[in-house]
């Protein structure tokens, strides 16, 4: 049977909501919105992560790389790669990140 969950029920803060698949599906998803200069600090995961940049502009750090990414693009960061991003524009940055894991496993650096 399909399930429907309002994103507002998953809200962790004013900037982030988290769906963890648990026993339903081996996938977890962050839905985030950030203003200029805001975003997650450097961290790692034991699995790759996919970012869907829906709107706005972000500067991603992935290992030694700095990437400026605008809405309408997808970023894939390999497992164990230190990464994070910050909003780099005046428009709201909206990013959905997909974790191929039933729970988020994250180590902040």
How confident is the model over 48-89, as pLDDT tens digits?
A: 999 999 999 999 999 999 999 999 999 999 999 999 999 999
Written in H, E and C, the secondary structure of 58-87 is EEEEECCEEEEEECCEEEEECCCCCEEEEE
**Cα–Cα distance for residue pair 49/85, rounded to 1 Å:** 13
Q: What is the pTM of this model?
A: 0.95
**φ, ψ at 85 (rounded to 5°):** -155, 160
> What does 36-57 look like in DSSP terms, one character per residue?
TT-SPPSEE-SS-EEEEEEESE
For the chain, domains (ranges, CATH) are 7-108 (2.60.120.10)
In this prediction, what percent of the chain has a pLDDT beyond 70?
100
């Amino acid at each position: 049977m399909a399930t429907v969950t309002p994103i507002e029920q998953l809200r962790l803060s004013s900037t982030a909501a988290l769906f963890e698949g648990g026993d339903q599906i081996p996938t977890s998803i962050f839905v985030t919105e950030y203003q200029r200069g805001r975003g997650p600090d450097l961290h790692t995961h034991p699995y790759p992560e996919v970012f869907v940049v829906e709107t706005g502009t972000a500067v991603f750090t992935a290992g030694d790389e700095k990437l400026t990414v605008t809405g309408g693009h997808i970023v894939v960061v390999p497992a164990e790669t230190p990464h994070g991003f910050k909003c780099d524009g005046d428009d709201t940055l909206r990013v959905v990140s997909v974790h191929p894991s039933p729970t988020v496993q994250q180590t902040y650096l």
